[in-house]
Homo-oligomer: A and B are copies of this chain.
């Protein structure tokens, strides 16, 4: 039998409403200042960073640091509610470094959406909602957006070797943006700068 540096079989608790995962092997937070260059309105971003002491936009817990092909890691992402100008809080968004690697999302709390984009420019969206598994298909970049006024908490499950390519989106994120129009979320093409 080959040796493995994977954890032993186990059951890993997560809190549905907060995303807290006490047995996580990794954790990071992204504050608004970490997300410069991504939002449509840089002036609104700087204003919030100064006025609110650079709040956390989203955070991430993960279980399993093993890097061997065939293994899986999983975790929670929590996107706190808020807007930068009219644009809702979001994750950075990425392609997988191995483009042909898939992922799944499962909303635990909150009911929002994922933006998808392929390298040929095709876009689509899918809802993140409790009671649904969101299939993050191979070759599609993905970014999650919280359009609600409560934290959006979701589980993700991914092959460990998928990897993250944040540069494939040209640094700015996705072609589409989610902004508030007349009090409701709207998916629009990013304005040409």
- List of B residues within 8 angstroms of A140 by Cβ: 9
Which residue of chain B lies nearest to A98 when distances are taken between CB atoms in the complex? B70
Q: Is the CB of B72 within 8 A of A8?
A: no
In the complex, whether A103 has a CB less than 8 A from a CB of chain B is yes
A10 CA / B136 CA spacing, docked (Å): 7
Number of copies: 2
Q: How many residues of A contact B (CB 8 A)?
A: 56
Q: Is the CB of B70 within 8 A of A9?
A: no
Stretch at the interface among A40-48, A117-125, A180-188: A117-125
Stretch at the interface among A30-38, A52-60, A84-92, A155-163: A155-163
Q: Is the CB of A135 within 8 A of B10?
A: yes
Q: Which residues of A from 1 to 31 have beta carbons under 8 Å from B?
A: 1-2, 4, 6-16
Q: Which residues of A from 93 to 146 have beta carbons under 8 Å from B?
A: 98-104, 106, 114, 116, 118-120, 124, 126-129, 131-140, 142
